[in-house]
Structure 1
Amino acid sequence: MKQSVRILTAVLPLLFLLNGNAPGFDRKNYAVSISSFNSYKMFIRGITDYNMRRFDAAADSFKRALASDPDDELTRYWYGKALDAGGYREAALAEWENIARTGLADAAVTAKLERLSVSAPARRTVQRLDDYIYLKPFSKEKFFYSELMQPIDVIADEEKLYVLDYADNTLKIFDVNGRKIKTITYGKKPLSHPKGIALDRGNNIYIADSGNDMVHKYSPDGTLLMSVGSNGYAEGRLACPSSVAVDAEGKVYVADTGNNRVSVFSVDGEFLLSFGTLGSDDGEFMRPTGIAVDDKHIYVADSGNLRVCMFDRYGNFLSSLTNDLFFQPRYVRLSSSGDLFITDEKRMFCYDRETSSVRGVPNSRRTTTAPMGMCEGGDGTLYVADFLTPKIDCYIPRQTYYANLEVNIERTLISAYKKKEETSEKRWIVQAVSVRDRNGRPVTGLTEKNFSVRDPGAPSAKVSFYGAHEDLKKFTLVFLIDDSAAAKPFQARMAEEVKRCIAPLTNDDNALVIHYNDRVRVAGDLDARNNRIEQNAASFGFGGNTRAFGDAFSEAVRRVLPSLRRTGIIIIISASDIDAKSFTRRNHEACALYAKNNFIPVTVIDMRGTVNDYLSDISTLTSGHYLNAKKNIVYRKELEYLKKAYTGLYYITYQTVFTPRQKGNYRECTVNVSYRDLRGVDKGGYLLTERELGDTSYGSGAKSESGGGGGGGH
């Protein structure tokens, strides 16, 4: 009776959510953007199936949720995760592309898009908004942000960050940790509302001193070297200069805002030329505020005309760049790759000169309130002066930040505290997290310090490794055995290979046998008894062809996914007709990805001593082996290899808290992994269940006394 009550308590939240007679849906209570109860109950069913590793069922639930609420990016994100885990890479990519097109791609989505685009280069059709994603402010330390009032321009070299402050009329130089090294406040007189800075190749500093109508040049140590300009319209004079740039020869280019022109000076400060006048025609300006130069061109942010103009080095007009999204272009700077960064009143853009396309930097409107000057650091970081907040924001190229580690939250489990820590409002969250490099190879040897978690119920979560469950140390082997008519001559040899293969299995290991021909036949259940495994393997039927091989393969993966055990698949083949027709629901690549994405290596034993191209692809992609049965196979070594083939899977755990009102709700969590100079991120989620202490969520069969301790990636 007590056990029945426990089970009923465990499933009540899900039954309530799936009840069509539930009361009116208030999405605020569930911390989701999903707008209808029907969508939410399908979403919850999908989350439950996903964490039970029933990926096909999860994908179906998410698809049904999207049918009711097609604009919900959270459901679409999870739909892509379920498709990807199920081996449907192209379909997953399409779903995440849809999110990117709406401008709602966060770090997790951009990481997945980059990974799938790299693995499927021919499929790179997503219209990416930009190659940059928001990282964080340069420093949150008081000794840094207390120095800022109205940062208007910023520039960086390898060791220092230069911040020009409009309000307190200073240039402040900081080290990489945000500690102030030096302050420059004077030119020929105190700086007055400076607006622009630049560095030349010798790290000499240039400041556009707008209030004094001058441009100053300083040595790297801050010594004033020269000043050019004075108030006026005549040649060589300036009026409220807003920006300055220096070319490789040391020539100085000034956005002479008050005079609606560009003025150019030599390395020694002599006036060389000016171009532009007030107007809106080609070559004319209305408040030019930003300027950048390369070896051939001059780029000017023509703020009043809502455009960016391009000139040759002699001031001859070449073209102008306009965009419906431009409100008031203010500053321009060139990237190391030659693209042009543009800051507007409320957001930032990047102009790709190769494709002549303009892309907005994702989330810049929400993270950087009033972007002004920006620059690219030596490591590719984009620094942006936020004039109103005030702060210096950092944006990171996704290909160097999120895409160099492939991180996936494979499943989320909820375990209870120890008895002495019992509370109805606390749980241990256990995340199964896989970590691979850009080439898909497992990353091993990580420690707890390489992982960080963002969870609403654990604002300062301390991550540890979870190794309490005994199944993490056990192994399951699945045999897929050819049972077609063509396999009959190999009956005795196939039975012998199975017997030799299972001999090295330990008492903690078990095996499952699946026969395939033109249908799928599962011979018994998972069993640890060698004689029973041999009997199941020898229960041949011999008939038909191998057209059901793909279905048998999918069934093998599906059956072992809910377990916490390590798993390997051994395919014993004797027929020669496995081809594209042998794969129906999943093609051979999707089958391989289904196994690979779930850390299941596949080894093929070919009784004929030949090589089947389809099975060879599967074994290679899953890090398995293709073995010739006519040669002596050392199965002890092969099983050792299968058990250790994937070592980049880590079980991490942390504590979370939730209130009674939140029980049954969905909670999102994010896992970040950093290792040396590599980083990766993934987003997952779970239900705040009503389960009693001692139970583990999602029917995994895992129970624990504690979420802490134990080993890491296995």
Structure 2
Amino acid sequence: MKLNYRGALYPVILSVLFICGQPAPAHALPRDVVRFEKAKESFREGYVYFNHQKYLAAVEYFRKAIAEYPDYMTAREYLARSYRLAGYKEEAIREWEAFLEEAPDNVLVRQKIEALRYQDVKELSGFSIGEFVLADEVASDEMRRYRFPNPVDFTVDAEKNVYITSFSSGKLIKIDPNKEGLDTYNAGMSSKLYGIDHFNGRLAVADFGEDMVYIMDTSLKVRSKIGAAGNGEGSFHGPQGLCFDAKGYIYVADSGNHRVQKFDPGGRFLLSFGKQGEYEGELYRPTDVAVSGDNVYVLDNGNNRVACFDDSGNFIKNVAVPESRSMRGISLFKENILIADEKTGLIVYNPSSEKSLVKSSWEKKSRSFSKLFSALMDRDEYLYCLDFGAESLYVFNPLQRHYANFDVEIASVDVSKYPVIAFYVSVRDRGGKPLYGLKRDNFQVIEDKVPMSGLYVDYLKDKDTSSSMVFCVDRSEDMRQYHNDVPWVAEFILQKMRTNDSFRVASAAADYVSETDFDWSRRRALAALGGAGYGAGKNIGKALYNSITDLVPRINRRGVIFLTDGVLDEKSFSQYTADNIIFFANSHHIPIYIVSFKEKSRTLERIALSTGGAYYFTRQVENLKGIYEKIHGAEENRYVLVYSTLRSATVNGWWSEVKLEVSYKNQKGQEWGGYFVP
């Protein structure tokens, strides 16, 4: 669109300057129009780089746009976004603060600054489980054919779907995060479903009435059954609570036999521990079990205590919880034990301090639990409490987060298939943790003040799982001695790769060099690993930064593997700091795995652990074997919002303003953006 400042279009074009809500200047002069036209061209160039996720290149053009026209607030806001997505937190905050000097009432920008500042504070302050606010409630009598009378236990999967067992009806109910019933499983007339747990797409469900444990998938299809009535190995008499451990082993509280039984992931009996009694190592009608590491915690309800064993069934100790009166369910969160007591309410017990906290009511004590049977904290720190008496599932939110907004961030916009538009989006809580499992109903897209329909959000979820990895090798002179071992380390990953995976070999000394394109060729990767040379310098910061940069545009699971001797020099992080690397990687959910031949660097270890990766030595063969699975099996936490615009393509060059809104459990978040009509 050609600008004619004397025509009616001039105010419209100038309004692009102030997408964030500020009015256009009323006294614009012809030279202002010329300057703005130059600034707009720079902005469009930067916008192209932004959408290709080349954020540092975008920074240069957005800075140029602001230099041409200092009041170009949209350019300044996109400059701040680009800094943030490029790993420069303080620079992003500085630009947003400059924005607020001109538009102090802009709430969205203020919230972005507060979110970044809060993440720094949260790392130091921690989180108190004791303060929570009701965020949502699922009542059985409102669920129609998905009712769950006399509920006793529940679990939550990675997609935030809830599975509730109904003791009186013998049914298992599946409900989505927005309280829509999805599926039911009816075990039979004599069934009394009790405990349930979820692990890696599998459900384990105890049937108290049939003395059996069902292994199901998340579609509620029974894949196998464990046990029968009796007191022998692998048999049950009234099984109640159960759980998976981190390796998929199953522990069952065999209440009527006064013991706990352990099964391997295939359902084969391994061992049992406990017998009827009140002394050390003895149990009386245990109701539930939870596992953390090597420790097994059993609710020994008949003896009103928590019995602790190791994972081989050896007794460790008994823990008395003074507030307990009738313990029903147990779960673990960080260093705390959560006990659902049907008479007391929720008891939060800390084994280290031996202190406990009781929560039985909320909303200034106007509401309280009737008979609490089960409670757990999910990974997003929502507290779920299942009330047998009220036949309701309550969802609570930490108090300090309840009144905070979600942090919604647009990483890029794809208009290549116009009129189909795709926004690549991340959603985080105020602490910076990704929010998983959101559904279409949790999003709304408003384009030029018109709500868009037909939104599709599962593009990445529905794709076949694949992964992209950068295998970057430290090629400083001291690494030459390990040259023949480099391919050996890479083989732990290359041998497991599939045809839809991709692998890039890179080298780093004073500079970063990509040795191969992204592909799945083991032969090309090994040739590059064996053929690269060595040189002076050890610019590890640049190596990690560029490795992340290479992975940012990839739309599958991603990870960096950096092979080094663990030795740093004074210039290793002079160009890109460790904090830059961590913030950059976390902005795009890319873990970094450090593999060292020799030394352990605290700086590299901090980078690895802070990005969700790990620090391994080459001698830790079993850990090296697991890197591929950790990257390939990671959960996708980006969203692609796809919809068809109503705008005609005849308005080429028009800026369409878009607002994204997110709502979940009474919390909200929003972001604005837009695109130029191609």
Report the TM-score, using the length of structure 1 for normalisation. Answer: 0.50
Change (3 A) 1:657 1:589: same
State the shift of 1:512 in Å. Answer: 0.7
1:536-581 superposed Cα distances (whole Å, 9 cap, x missing partner): 12223123131x22222222222233332332110111151255x2
Aligned letter for 1:409? I
CA contact (8 A) 2:616 2:624 kept: no
Task: Quote the residue 2:12 is aligned against.
Answer: 28
CA contact (8 A) 1:458 1:656 kept: no
1:604 aligns with 2:605: no
Aligned letter for 2:10? D
State the shift of 1:457 in Å. Answer: 7.1
Change (3 A) 1:536 1:520: same
Residue in structure 1 matching 2:533, options 526, 529, 541 = 541
How far apart are the structure 1 equivalents of 2:465 and 2:494? Answer: 18
How far apart are the structure 2 equivalents of 1:60 and 1:538? Answer: 37
User: Which consecutive residues of structure 1, in runs of 5 or more, have no partner in the other structure?
Assistant: 1-12, 18-22, 124-376, 379-397, 417-425, 690-714
Answer with 27-36 or 92-101: which moved more.
27-36
Residue in structure 1 matching 2:581, options 587, 591, 597 = 591
CA contact (8 A) 1:442 1:647 kept: no
Aligned letter for 2:583? L
CA contact (8 A) 2:468 2:502 kept: yes
How far apart are the structure 1 equivalents of 2:107 and 2:403? Answer: 7
State the shift of 1:595 in Å. Answer: 1.8
Task: Quote the residue 1:66 is aligned against.
Answer: 66
**Within 5 A, what are the aligned runs for 1:196-235?**
none
**Within 5 A, what are the aligned runs for 1:517-532?**
517-532=509-524
Change (3 A) 1:618 1:666: farther
CA contact (8 A) 1:573 1:604 kept: yes
Give the fraction of aligned pairs with identical amino acids, expressed as a percent.
23
Task: Quote the residue 2:89 is aligned against.
Answer: 89
State the shift of 1:466 in Å. Answer: 4.5
Task: Quote the residue 1:624 is aligned against.
Answer: 613
Residue in structure 1 matching 2:558, options 543, 556, 567 = 567
1:438-478 superposed Cα distances (whole Å, 9 cap, x missing partner): 33222211111111122117434342225289977432110
**Within 5 A, what are the aligned runs for 1:119-198?**
119-121=119-121
Task: Quote the residue 2:546 is aligned against.
Answer: 555
Task: Describe the SS at the equivalent of 1:33.
Answer: helix
Task: Quote the residue 1:49 is aligned against.
Answer: 49
Aligned letter for 1:611? K
Change (3 A) 1:83 1:655: same
How far apart are the structure 2 equivalents of 1:75 and 1:628? Answer: 46
How far apart are the structure 2 equivalents of 1:503 and 1:634? Answer: 15
How far apart are the structure 2 equivalents of 1:676 and 1:530? Answer: 46
Number of aligned residues: 387
1:485 aligns with 2:469: no
Residue in structure 1 matching 2:665, options 656, 676, 686 = 676
State the shift of 1:105 in Å. Answer: 4.8
1:474 aligns with 2:475: no
1:576 aligns with 2:567: yes
Task: Describe the SS at the equivalent of 2:428.
Answer: strand
CA contact (8 A) 1:415 1:430 kept: no
CA contact (8 A) 2:460 2:555 kept: no
Task: Describe the SS at the equivalent of 2:581.
Answer: helix
Aligned letter for 1:672? E
**Within 5 A, what are the aligned runs for 1:21-420?**
26=10, 28-29=12-13, 31-33=15-17, 36-121=36-121, 403-414=404-415, 416=417
State the shift of 1:109 in Å. Answer: 1.1
How far apart are the structure 1 equivalents of 2:476 and 2:440? Answer: 49
How far apart are the structure 1 equivalents of 2:431 and 2:567? Answer: 32
1:573-592 superposed Cα distances (whole Å, 9 cap, x missing partner): 1151255x212432121122
CA contact (8 A) 2:415 2:422 kept: yes
CA contact (8 A) 1:434 1:650 kept: yes
How far apart are the structure 1 equivalents of 2:466 and 2:536? Answer: 36
1:278-311 superposed Cα distances (whole Å, 9 cap, x missing partner): xxxxxxxxxxxxxxxxxxxxxxxxxxxxxxxxxx
Aligned letter for 1:629? T
CA contact (8 A) 2:53 2:552 kept: yes
Task: Quote the residue 1:614 is aligned against.
Answer: 603
Root-mean-square deviation over aligned CA pairs? 3.1
Change (3 A) 1:685 1:122: same
Task: Describe the SS at the equivalent of 2:410.
Answer: strand
How far apart are the structure 1 equivalents of 2:593 and 2:460? Answer: 30
How far apart are the structure 2 equivalents of 1:648 and 1:687? Answer: 27
Change (3 A) 1:109 1:481: same
Residue in structure 1 matching 2:440, options 448, 454, 457 = 448
State the shift of 1:621 in Å. Answer: 2.2
CA contact (8 A) 1:515 1:523 kept: yes
State the shift of 1:648 in Å. Answer: 1.9
Which structure's relative contact order is higher, taking Cα pairs within 8 Å and 6+ residues apart? 1
CA contact (8 A) 1:458 1:655 kept: no
Change (3 A) 1:75 1:680: same
Aligned letter for 1:502? L
1:688 aligns with 2:672: no
Task: Quote the residue 1:663 is aligned against.
Answer: 652
